[in-house]
Chain A
């Protein structure tokens, strides 16, 4: 195992440190709260030459991702970061990157979308873009953010995957909170992450068509390949985490993290930093003899349907807690979890959807305790509720 240096960093600083270790050739970004300090740190690193990369100050998020796509098309490793309205402004290019199979890595600071205008955290920005063909991961803390950035390049650039990847950090709660972080050595990351090699690039020795048109006769075939590529990430993520664990001693649990689910009757399913607030509640209720558990979804795409079915198999009631709402129906995470359970042949647990944390509304320990009480109380016929 490689020796690591400890530092007290914010989530954004941890991301910048991870990006530097991954040695991207091109960084293109446009500042937006609460992402700004990531690209400020990266700009400083390029300026002081501790990161040898081309840093492109562009005039918009649309251009930031377009520049990354262009750079990726000549075989460069690329990075961008954004948030909220910036991510939405990239929407057109998100499909271009995934359809063109350009493994751009992006950090998104999860933030509410206007109106009403708000710079605080919820996950409506990235969850509304689940269908754009990107792999989506959600971090719980700064260490996981850093490690996910490094792993993201290995996953996205894998020949079976060749798909862009978005690492999501809850705005402010992760991006602006300082905590103890282990920094992998450059030597270790170089061993883990060899330089980007791809055949999917403009190359004078092997000229080929890129970013082309495909009519009705061929278009669906490309989309099927794209679907297969994202599904292939299921295995590549596990292999990547295993290799990462061997080198750096930090082991991740695959597409979900499950805590005390083996015999749990009441389980909260959630994602991002709020899972960290659920953890001490689960431990305290367990110490009182309550059979409660937690599933933290780490990847929304590809979606861990098998893992979720397994974790929830014995539960009586499950609450999906998310900082998202698809107006007029339910939360998107809930839709996905419900769909995973419907694929199962066994008896379903009662499933509730807790919508909270919109626009940065705090979710407290007492809130989580109330949610577990709600799961234990008799069915009142309501499925979706705001907390």
Chain B
């Protein structure tokens, strides 16, 4: 993974309604308001339909970001729904990049370049347990914090508590912590 001193670009894949862009935005809140870094977060532009494939993007840097072009190459690809997996999912993922997939499979049903690091996690089951619904976006943020140096778990927890309301904030924070631990993260 690139260190925090260079720009990091993350692409989120989901279906409309699964919160891919919300995850991109929560990550932006975490690094800007709680880590004094800079970020742009944006959805795939245009109309959005429930269930159709959508993208979210987060561009993070230590310096103010002015580049407004679309993200083609990225450091992390997060997939919220494994029905979206296909041979193109790792397109643009940089050498040494991370592919983070929410899936019940033990291994990926697609081939991918050898230089890509893959992490598989059954986040939907965890989301069902904590939220009572299969929305895994915050769960995958917890996995991202554990498996990369993109963002700290503390910033993400603060972001969820700021941006979500009442019991939803509490449940999502608990889910974040759980996936962070499941993926080997330790909360200090």
A binds B: yes
Interface residues, chain A, with chain B CB atoms under 8 Å away:
6-8, 33, 119-120, 140-141, 170, 172-174, 176-180, 273-277, 279-280, 360, 362-365
| Docked-complex contact A120 and B32, CB < 8 angstroms | no
A-binding segment of B65-73, B128-136, B168-176: B65-73
* Chain B contacts for A172, CB-based, 8 A: 42, 45-46
Interface residues, chain B, with chain A CB atoms under 8 Å away:
25, 28-29, 32-33, 38-43, 45-47, 65-70, 72
With A and B bound together, what is the CA distance between A173 and B65 in angstroms? 13
| Docked-complex contact A177 and B66, CB < 8 angstroms | no
| Docked-complex contact A277 and B66, CB < 8 angstroms | yes
User: Quick one: given A6-B33, A360-B45, are A177 and B68 in contact (CB under 8 Å)?
Assistant: yes
Q: How many A-B residue pairs lie within 8 Å, measured between CB atoms? A: 72
| Docked-complex contact B42 and A176, CB < 8 angstroms | yes
With A and B bound together, what is the CA distance between A174 and B42 in angstroms? 9
* Closest residue on chain A to residue B7 by CB atoms: A280
A120, A170, A177, A275 interface centre (most CB from chain B within 10 Å): A177
Instruction: Say which residue of B28, B45, B66 sits within 8 Å of A176 (CB atoms).
Output: B45
| Docked-complex contact A173 and B68, CB < 8 angstroms | yes
Instruction: Say which residue of B32, B66, B69 sits within 8 Å of A8 (CB atoms).
Output: B32
| Docked-complex contact B66 and A178, CB < 8 angstroms | no
| Docked-complex contact B67 and A280, CB < 8 angstroms | yes
Instruction: Say which residue of B33, B46, B68 sits within 8 Å of A119 (CB atoms).
Output: B46
| Docked-complex contact B43 and A176, CB < 8 angstroms | yes
* Chain B contacts for A33, CB-based, 8 A: 47
Closest 10 CB pairs of A and B: A276-B66, A172-B45, A177-B42, A180-B32, A178-B41, A273-B68, A8-B29, A364-B69, A279-B66, A362-B70
* Chain A contacts for B42, CB-based, 8 A: 172-173, 176-178
* Chain B contacts for A8, CB-based, 8 A: 25, 28-29, 32-33, 39, 41
The minimal Cβ–Cβ distance linking A354 to chain B, given in whole angstroms, is 15
The minimal Cβ–Cβ distance linking A325 to chain B, given in whole angstroms, is 21
User: Quick one: given A172-B45, A179-B39, A180-B39, are A280 and B66 in contact (CB under 8 Å)?
Assistant: yes
The minimal Cβ–Cβ distance linking A104 to chain B, given in whole angstroms, is 28
* Chain B contacts for A275, CB-based, 8 A: 66
The minimal Cβ–Cβ distance linking B91 to chain A, given in whole angstroms, is 15
The minimal Cβ–Cβ distance linking A16 to chain B, given in whole angstroms, is 16
* Chain A contacts for B46, CB-based, 8 A: 119-120, 172
Instruction: Say which residue of B40, B68, B70, B72 sits within 8 Å of A178 (CB atoms).
Output: B40
* Chain A contacts for B28, CB-based, 8 A: 8, 178-179
* Chain A contacts for B33, CB-based, 8 A: 6-8, 180
With A and B bound together, what is the CA distance between A179 and B28 in angstroms? 8
A-B contacts, 11 listed (Cβ < 8 Å): A6-B32, A170-B68, A172-B46, A177-B42, A178-B28, A179-B65, A180-B32, A277-B66, A279-B66, A279-B67, A364-B70
| Docked-complex contact A277 and B67, CB < 8 angstroms | yes
| Docked-complex contact A180 and B38, CB < 8 angstroms | yes
* Closest residue on chain B to residue A281 by CB atoms: B67
* Chain B contacts for A365, CB-based, 8 A: 67, 69
* Closest residue on chain B to residue A276 by CB atoms: B66
* Chain B contacts for A360, CB-based, 8 A: 45
* Chain A contacts for B45, CB-based, 8 A: 120, 172-173, 176, 360
* Closest residue on chain B to residue A272 by CB atoms: B68
| Docked-complex contact A363 and B66, CB < 8 angstroms | no
* Chain A contacts for B43, CB-based, 8 A: 176
With A and B bound together, what is the CA distance between A276 and B38 in angstroms? 15
The minimal Cβ–Cβ distance linking A144 to chain B, given in whole angstroms, is 11
* Closest residue on chain B to residue A360 by CB atoms: B45
With A and B bound together, what is the CA distance between A174 and B66 in angstroms? 11
With A and B bound together, what is the CA distance between A276 and B46 in angstroms? 21
| Docked-complex contact A276 and B39, CB < 8 angstroms | no
| Docked-complex contact A119 and B47, CB < 8 angstroms | yes
The minimal Cβ–Cβ distance linking B126 to chain A, given in whole angstroms, is 26
The minimal Cβ–Cβ distance linking B5 to chain A, given in whole angstroms, is 16
The minimal Cβ–Cβ distance linking A372 to chain B, given in whole angstroms, is 15
* Chain B contacts for A180, CB-based, 8 A: 32-33, 38-39
The minimal Cβ–Cβ distance linking A369 to chain B, given in whole angstroms, is 12
With A and B bound together, what is the CA distance between A340 and B112 in angstroms? 55
* Closest residue on chain B to residue A362 by CB atoms: B70
**A173-B42, A179-B65 given; 13 more Cβ-contact pairs under 8 Å:** A6-B32, A33-B47, A172-B42, A172-B45, A172-B46, A177-B41, A177-B42, A178-B42, A179-B28, A274-B68, A280-B67, A362-B69, A365-B69
Instruction: Say which residue of B25, B47, B68, B72 sits within 8 Å of A276 (CB atoms).
Output: B68
The minimal Cβ–Cβ distance linking A61 to chain B, given in whole angstroms, is 20
With A and B bound together, what is the CA distance between A207 and B26 in angstroms? 55
